[in-house]
Structure 1
Amino acid sequence: MEISSLPAIEQQLKSIQQLIQATKFNDAIEQSQLLLAQTTEKKQHIELWYLIAVAQRYAKDHAAALISINELLKLDEQHSRANQEKGYIHLALNQTVPAKAAFENAVKLNPSLMASWQQLIEIYQKTNQTSHVQQAANQLAKLKQLPPALLGVTQLMHEGKLLKAEQICRHFLQNNKRHIEGMCLLAEIGMELKIYDDAEFLLATALELDPNHITARSQYLNLLIRLGKYKLAASQVESLLAEQPNNLSFKVAKANVLTGLGKVEQAIRIYEQVIAQDHAIAGFHLQLGHALKAKGDIKRAVSAYQQAYQLKPDYGDAYWSLANTKTYRFSDEEIKQMQLQQENKALASLDSIQLYFATGKAFEDKQEYAKAFKAYQQGNAIQHKQSGFDIGKIEQQVAAQMKYCTHELFNQRGHLGLSAPDPIFIVGLPRAGSTLLEQILASHSQVDGTMELHNILGLAARLSGRNQNSVENQYPKNLAEITPDYFSRFGQQFIDETKVYREAAPYFIDKMPNNFLHIGLIRLILPNAKVIDARRSPMACCFSGFKQLFAEGQDFSYNLEDIGRYYQAYLKLMAHWDNVLPGSVLTVNHEDVVDDLDTQVRRMLDFCGLEFEQSCLDFHKTKRNIKTPSSEQVRQPIYKSATQQWQNFEQFLTPLKAVLGTTK
């Protein structure tokens, strides 16, 4: 019989916990095993195996307890408390070495497990590992200083229970409004949930209350870097370095900021200085590689990435960064190394994902397409599961834009924004050729290339409010209700905030593809801005996205059906913008650019009101920093080989073709 009532199951689990607390271990085991046979839910099996193992250990049936906890770990090897329980069982069996490994794995998965740190201190003391004793003692002391509520929050965070952690942390801060550690924890949860505005406000407030709080300032710096707010980040990193001038992490952060500001040469010098001080940190070599790649020095970038994986053979990011140059070809030995690492059961999920995507690229280059697709599919499946992405929410956003961004809205409010003509927005889907269009336009003497700027997305998020499902007057509905002078203020804010990315040209490019969702907002705050839609044929665009591991923000791309539905929603919304804002968006098809570069270059320049310059046709000769995956491709003349690459995988793409209703 299948149990389907969730409350009933939760009640039975609570009853089993009460039996264990009452030392009725055999009854607890019997009830757990009975319930285990009645449900097929993986989550419930995990909870039940945990309870069985605990009860068996308390009943001193240690051999059975070890079998039970291993059954749990087969279902979820990343379960921190199961690893802790395994450590206790091995200790009971006088097996110190596996106990130590289990406790170390537990704190690696969840650094807030005080009991595991305590056991590790005792084990390290017995084995004379003095430095390890001190590290563990420091972590334990830090945890003991936390109020019990915040300790619970940290444990929930590391167990992935973010919403519950947020609820408890907010409740704690209601009664402890000036508690800096609580504010930092809530900000960390906000970053995990991608509620960046909340996190930024919390950390800024924490620093107003305590300007000398290193952790809060470091956290604030990392958030600003993630958001691309490099000018603000620059002042934060200087403050941190004034306090701790020899902190290598802060020096690397400064180099990251300089890279973001386009000062790549300075960044490279800092990375090299840091590596000279500590050559053994793989991440330092990786960051140096990124800066060298942005500069266009691919030979040295490749060397830096290779050094990173030589120092850390399971470093998925190093292999993926090599693949992501798009021009690197893996050796057979490197492919074997990547496959060997994938077999490591202790491998972090992010490393696993990156290794799968890199392996896919390696096999695709060798024209072993079945192996390549399998690797891409494995990497995408893990990433898709972790993201929790719901394509339905994107479709709802598109429907809302179409419902509220009407002819009437633009007739009544289209004149309220800032008249500055500076921005040229390039929108569309990622991997649709937007970097190529940016490189062409940025080769013009009157246009600065920048990067994928987050400013419009940030404004849309602020207009949407904290809870996008509970407020009636929400973005984009509230575009018809906002005080009129706000539109020009928002436009001015955009111009002011983006100055740091510009040089001296009168025009500049914002190449954030996701801005296609907010063309109505752009038109209202910057009515004279130009918008170019970089479009690519459906199958080529969608499959190119599917085999790309993005840094963040493109969660729709990790499932073939999702990416197909996203493309359809994009087409639907772009047709709406053409209807309500006729002539405001120029569509440039990638295939047309490849077939007739001259004509498409002149179309874009005419649309932007720019005189023709030969440098736009010779775009591959332009020297500038480029931070997108296509950086090496746009440093070469136009080539046609990529337009039909998806056909090599056509037999595997039936779900995508079904959603798109196309074969092109």
Structure 2
Amino acid sequence: MAGLATDDVERLHAGARAIRDRAHAQAERLIGGVLARHPRHPEALRLLAILQLHTQRAAQAVASLRQAIEWHARDAQLHADLGNAHNACGERDAAIAAWRRAVELEPQQPVPWFNLGRAYQGQGDSLAAVEALQRTRSLAPEILPAAILLGDALAHLGRFDEASAQYRDGLRLHPACGDAWRGLSNIKTVALSDADAAALAAQLQRHDIADTDRIAMNHALGKLEEDRGRHPQAFAAFSAANALQQRLTPWRLPPFEHYLEQALAMTETLPEPVDPALGREVIFIVGMPRSGSTLFEQILAAHPQVEGASELQELGIVIQQESMRRGVPYPQWIPQASAQDWQRLGRDYLARTAHWRTARSRFTDKLPENWKHAGVLRAMLPGATIVETRRDPLETAWSCFKQQFYSQPHFANTLADLGAYLRGCERAMDAWRARDPARIRLHRYEDLLASPEPRVRALLADCGLDFDPACMRFHAAARSVRTASAAQVRQPLQRDTARAAAYGGLLDPLRVALGLPTA
């Protein structure tokens, strides 16, 4: 507030309170009045940018902050907020550059370090994320999200003891922290203890905890009870978690079924691609979550030519932005798209994922729900390989029911929806594979367990890769694994992964939904 009269200081304080209280017109008036008299004042410009961010004007916020930085280039807070504004615009690299400048100017500020760590983790650079988040924790050990995110980054790197320590410190700060319990539970190679069982039971008795925390704790309790062999209690805990999630964010089957029918019909005929080799760099791994996709990716990522990029959002973003440009929802605009349109979209995807080809020539995109777009890939990225992974349907569906998913609403909250979704996924993929058999290849989890080397060789051949012995030692590969299977894929193949049979008749509703015989 240096250089401002007392009245203007009060106006900026009042403007900040108005932003907090969402009185946006009042905030605009107060801050604008100060800027009329002091157009270069950094705090007035910074508050204006924050207001612009709150009112969905991120590009204007970037402009306001850049203007302030022209006159106050060494103001760390301005650079930190510029990072936030770039991030709101979807400009990840620019956001990282701004946050890095902020910590260079003022290395004792924890929040820019946290934002850096979160951004690095989002782009798959878990080593850089760990370094930034450790700085955050050393500067501000009370910031709970930093403990959780650091635990996640360490777990993705396979440093499970260190990850567990971070999650436990998160529970010290907040004993009902669902994300901390989720993190501990997802280290599936280490069972929770009797003390954890007592702590979970005590926290779940509270009436003052958030629904999201209650959901995560019930998932953790279900995993704990399953590990103890108490399957009715485990089923009850998983069911409670999913029932609450379904009430909060209900998923509806009819829109999904309508989408599926449209997508199958509208992808039956597509234009011949301009460049049949476009996208040869990409190996999509698609299908149901919990079907072994992380294991198949880990095998491929052990190959010296392949970077394992894990679950990328870029394909969906490219298609969503094209829908917005056309003003027509996907898949309804598919018949209007020309070969040149598909080539443009394919190049857009490749430009967005170029980061993953800096060290190796090929990369995997393992977002399971990309199966919904598999029908257009023969026009958009005709050179890409699509690997569909399948596992026993009951095991797959039950594993989904037990897993907490953060993208909501989600199909895995009821057994009936789960069965319908899995059958719809398989029906669509069968149809698309029949149309593009050379590029869409089916690989089964149980076949890999039964005959590892022949199936690994077949997987590599389908991707146009020579066999490399390192792919048989996939569990030793040093990479970030950003899924719930991070612990399992760092072990040799396990043949005893089936869990559903122990629940007996409790899973009969799921068997019915899948069209399977009851127990």
Normalising TM by the smaller chain, what interval? Answer: 0.7 to 0.9
Distance 1:380 1:142, change over 3 A: same
Counterpart for residue 38 of structure 1: none
Task: Give 1:584 deviation, angstroms.
Answer: 2.2
Counterpart-to-counterpart distance in 1, 2:375 and 2:453:
30
Counterpart for residue 34 of structure 2: none
Counterpart for residue 315 of structure 2: 456
Any residues of structure 2 matched to 1:510-521 within 5 Å, and which? 510-521=365-376
Distance 1:238 1:270, change over 3 A: closer
Does residue 398 (structure 1) correspond to residue 260 (structure 2)? The answer is yes
Counterpart for residue 300 of structure 1: 162
Q: Secondary structure at the match of 1:463?
A: helix
Does residue 603 (structure 1) correspond to residue 465 (structure 2)? The answer is no
Does residue 289 (structure 1) correspond to residue 289 (structure 2)? The answer is no
Distance 1:222 1:542, change over 3 A: farther
Native 8 Å contact 1:184 1:216 kept in 2: no
Any residues of structure 2 matched to 1:386-535 within 5 Å, and which? 386-406=248-268, 408-409=269-270, 412-415=271-274, 419-465=278-324, 474-535=329-390
Counterpart for residue 71 of structure 2: none
Query: How many aligned residue pairs are there?
Result: 477
Q: Secondary structure at the match of 1:610?
A: coil
Task: Give 1:466 deviation, angstroms.
Answer: 8.3
Counterpart-to-counterpart distance in 2, 1:602 and 1:328:
31
1:649 counterpart letter in structure 2: Y
Native 8 Å contact 2:246 2:409 kept in 1: no
Counterpart for residue 549 of structure 1: 404
- What is the TM-score normalised by the length of structure 1? 0.67
Counterpart-to-counterpart distance in 1, 2:79 and 2:414:
40
Distance 1:215 1:380, change over 3 A: farther
Does residue 238 (structure 1) correspond to residue 100 (structure 2)? The answer is yes
Task: Give 1:373 deviation, angstroms.
Answer: 1.0
Task: Give 1:417 deviation, angstroms.
Answer: 6.4
Task: Give 1:317 deviation, angstroms.
Answer: 1.0
Does residue 266 (structure 1) correspond to residue 128 (structure 2)? The answer is yes
Does residue 278 (structure 1) correspond to residue 140 (structure 2)? The answer is yes
Native 8 Å contact 2:83 2:96 kept in 1: no
Distance 1:435 1:593, change over 3 A: same
2:345 counterpart letter in structure 1: F
2:513 counterpart letter in structure 1: V
Aligned pair partner of 2:512 in 658, 661, 664: 658
Aligned-pair identity in percent equals 27
Does residue 361 (structure 1) correspond to residue 223 (structure 2)? The answer is yes
Task: Give 1:285 deviation, angstroms.
Answer: 2.0
Distance 1:611 1:349, change over 3 A: same
Native 8 Å contact 1:422 1:508 kept in 2: yes
Q: Secondary structure at the match of 2:481?
A: coil
1:619 counterpart letter in structure 2: F
Distance 1:142 1:396, change over 3 A: same
Q: Secondary structure at the match of 1:640?
A: coil
- Gaps of at least 5 residues in structure 2 are 1-12, 29-47, 69-77
Task: Give 1:242 deviation, angstroms.
Answer: 6.5
Task: Give 1:662 deviation, angstroms.
Answer: 1.0
- What is the TM-score normalised by the length of structure 2? 0.84
1:377 counterpart letter in structure 2: S
Task: Give 1:482 deviation, angstroms.
Answer: 2.6
Counterpart for residue 635 of structure 1: 490
Instruction: Let me know the Cα RMSD of the aligned residues.
Output: 2.8
Native 8 Å contact 2:19 2:51 kept in 1: no
Native 8 Å contact 2:80 2:102 kept in 1: no
2:287 counterpart letter in structure 1: G
Counterpart-to-counterpart distance in 1, 2:471 and 2:356:
21
Does residue 335 (structure 1) correspond to residue 197 (structure 2)? The answer is yes
Q: Secondary structure at the match of 1:588?
A: strand
Counterpart for residue 245 of structure 2: 383
Structure with larger Rg: 1
Counterpart-to-counterpart distance in 2, 1:641 and 1:137:
63
2:405 counterpart letter in structure 1: F
Native 8 Å contact 1:417 1:488 kept in 2: no
Task: Give 1:519 deviation, angstroms.
Answer: 1.0
Aligned pair partner of 2:53 in 179, 184, 190: 184
Q: Secondary structure at the match of 2:207?
A: coil
Instruction: Encode CA deviations 1:557-609: one digit per residue, 9 max, x unaligned.
Output: 11111111110110111121023223321100111111111121111111111
2:303 counterpart letter in structure 1: H
Counterpart-to-counterpart distance in 2, 1:380 and 1:519:
29
Native 8 Å contact 2:310 2:365 kept in 1: yes
Task: Indicate the structure whose relative CO is greater, using CA pairs within 8 Å and at least 6 residues apart.
Answer: 2
Aligned pair partner of 1:255 in 103, 106, 117: 117
Counterpart-to-counterpart distance in 2, 1:315 and 1:138:
34
Counterpart for residue 345 of structure 1: 207
Counterpart-to-counterpart distance in 1, 2:424 and 2:239:
23
Counterpart-to-counterpart distance in 2, 1:273 and 1:183:
30
Native 8 Å contact 2:86 2:95 kept in 1: yes
- Gaps of at least 5 residues in structure 1 are 1-135, 152-178, 188-201
